[in-house]
Amino acid sequence: MSAGASTISDRAADTRVATARRVLLIAGILLVAANLRGALTSVGPLLETIRRSEGLSAGQAGLLSALPLLTFAVFSPQVPRLARRIGMERLTWYALLALAIGIVLRSVPLVGMLWLGTVLLGLSIAVGNVLLPALLKRDFPDRVAPMTSLYSVTMGVVGAVVSGLAVPLAGVLPGGWRTALGSLAGLALIAFAIWAPQAFGRRAQPVVERTSTARTPWRSALAWQVTAYMGLQSFGFYIVLSWFPAIMNDNGISEENSGWLLLLLQVLGVTMSAAIPLVANKMRDQRLLATGGSLLSLTGYLGMLIAPELAVLWAIIVGLASGICFVLALLFFTLRAADSYGAAALSGMAQSIGYLFATTGPVLFGALHDWTHSWSLPLIVLMAAVSVQAAMGLGAGRNLTVH
């Protein structure tokens, strides 16, 4: 074989190896994303069963649901510091193993394991929540929008499927709800295995922050606008997830149909999560989308207040709006950051404050309903929050970066 032919053959082999690595990286990212919702969404449908099994009060059951969000709030700011010391890939790998352990511990019938496992899985998911935007910023700088679309859709689809299968699996599997929840450890272990080449590959090294990102995002007005947008959209999303069926049920719609409307709402949200990043990537900035999505939410909430009999229409509108706002919040972590470390720092800040604020949403909404015996005041408060979100979108959507 001639030297020229040998060189061409070597280049082809190198191209194949590079392509294989790229495919493995994308598969790993999507598997990490697949583990960021299921361990959380599987609890809601089984909460009453768990409550009866464990003898929990209503307050304790509510705390169990809120505990992962509180864990995100406390731990998210620490993730960029840990990643800077040991590397994003390796920290993600450790987190996947910890997630599997946490899921198993949560299902073990020993005193305290339900709570310990929930905290551990919350810590693990916080790592993925913070680092995935940073990984995309570094490894796919020209493909941030489509990759954000892929991973947000993966999160949404897996979360919805797991939520739908939780009760049927608990009914047929030996061990009931414990086995149904514990089986999710298998998905975490698959991701752990697929991610191993990234954890020990040549790029798995400590993150060195650049001088341009040395300034903390906590002192940036733009970062606070991104954080406010993230927190307010999460506030509304978790309220809707928790209370939409009850509102519909109190307005004459059966529990079964209310559940189907909530499923429709979530499916439409996933659909928008797939499309919006591709649209946003072609725009000069995202102010129109951020504010428009928020005002669309406002329209849906107003409709629920004044014409609840048009429930299908409001489910469609709120579903579309929630998808727009959620994926934009994720996209802002990369678009508003100068580099991968900046994306991790901004993501950590926004998710810490955002999830801490979001935990108050369902509790406040329910308390206002108990106080007034009506959904009117809670919905008015929700509309006020989404109006502020629209204003924050004007700031967060600007074509600027946090420095």
Write down the pLDDT at residue 212.
44
How many Cβ atoms are within 10 Å of 235's Cβ, its own excluded? 25
Do 83 and 145 fall within a single domain?
Answer: yes
pLDDT of 41 higher than 80: yes
Can you tell me the distance from the alpha carbon of 213 to that of 403, in angstroms, rounded to the nearest whole number?
Answer: 6
pLDDT value at residue 4: 57
Range among 206-220, 228-242, 378-392 with highest mean pLDDT value: 378-392
- Alpha carbon distance 388, 393 (integer Å): 9
Whether 211 is covered by a domain: the verdict is no
Distance CA 94, CA 99 (A): 9
Q: Are both 189 and 320 inside the same structural domain?
A: no
Look at residues 109, 59, 23, 20 and name the one whose alpha carbon lies nearest to residue 363: 59
Is 80 exceeded by the pLDDT of residue 398? yes
**Using an 8 Å Cβ cutoff, are 233 and 329 in contact?**
yes
- The least confident of 178-187, 199-208, 304-313, 362-371 is 199-208
151 & 227 share domain: no
> Which residue did the predictor score with more confidence, 389 or 273?
389
Per-residue model confidence (pLDDT) at position 270: 87
Q: Same domain for 19 and 110?
A: yes
Are both 239 and 325 inside the same structural domain?
Answer: yes
pLDDT band at 2 (very low <50, low <70, confident <90, very high): low
Q: Looking at the domain assignment, is residue 207 inside a domain? A: no
d(CA 62, CA 238) in angstroms, rounded, equals 13
Distant-in-sequence, close-in-space partners of 171: CB < 8 Å, separation ≥ 6:
none
Same domain, yes or no, for 263 and 171?
no
Higher pLDDT, 251 or 215: 251
Q: How many domains does the chain have?
A: 2
Residue 208 placed within a domain: no
Within-domain flag for 8:
no
In this prediction, residue 254 carries a pLDDT of 79
The CATH number of the domain holding residue 281 is 1.20.1250.20
> What's the whole-number average pLDDT of the chain?
87
- The whole-number pLDDT of residue 211 equals 45
Q: Of 192, 227, 223, 168, whose CA–CA distance to 95 is shortest?
A: 192
Q: Is the Cβ–Cβ distance between 300 and 249 less than 8 Å?
A: no
Residue 28 and residue 127 share a domain: yes
Q: What is the pLDDT of residues 177-213, one digit of tens each?
A: 999 999 999 999 999 999 999 988 755 555 545 544 4
Cα radius of gyration (the chain): 22
Question: Is 34 domain-assigned?
Answer: yes
> How far apart are alpha carbons 218 and 345 in whole angstroms?
9
81 and 165 inside one domain: yes
Sign of dihedral through CA atoms 114, 46, 180, 241?
negative
Residue 401 pLDDT exceeds 60 = yes
Which of the listed ranges 204-218, 241-255, 289-303 does the model predict with the highest average pLDDT?
A: 289-303
Q: Is residue 175 part of a domain?
A: yes
Instruction: Choose one of 142, 168, 201: the last residue of a domain.
Output: 201
Q: How far apart are the C-alpha atoms of 128 and 147, rounded to whole Å?
A: 15
Kindly state whether residues 190 and 60 are assigned to the same domain.
yes
Q: Which of the listed residues 169, 201, 233 is the one where a domain comes to its end?
A: 201
Asked whether residue 91 is assigned to any structural domain, the reply reads yes
Q: In the structure, what pLDDT confidence band is assigned to residue 6 with cuts at 50, 70 and 90?
A: low
Q: Which domain holds residue 174?
A: 14-201
- Does residue 265 share a domain with residue 173? no
Establish if 133 belongs to a structural domain: yes
Report the pLDDT value the prediction gives residue 260, as an integer from 0 to 100. Answer: 80
Same domain, 114 and 197: yes
Q: What is the pLDDT of residue 242?
A: 76
Closest residue by Cα to residue 286 from 390, 200, 185, 188: 390
Residue 253 has a pLDDT of 81
Residue 13: pLDDT band with limits 50, 70, 90: low
Final residue belonging to a domain, choices 174, 201, 228:
201
Residues 193 and 228 in one domain: no
Question: Per-residue pLDDT tens for 64-117?
Answer: 888 888 899 899 999 998 998 999 999 999 999 999 999 999 999 988 999 999
Confidence of residue 214 (pLDDT cuts 50, 70, 90): very low
**Cα–Cα distance measured from residue 33 to residue 35, given in angstroms and rounded to the nearest whole number:** 5
Question: pLDDT at position 213, please?
Answer: 43
CB 32 within 8 A of CB 128: yes
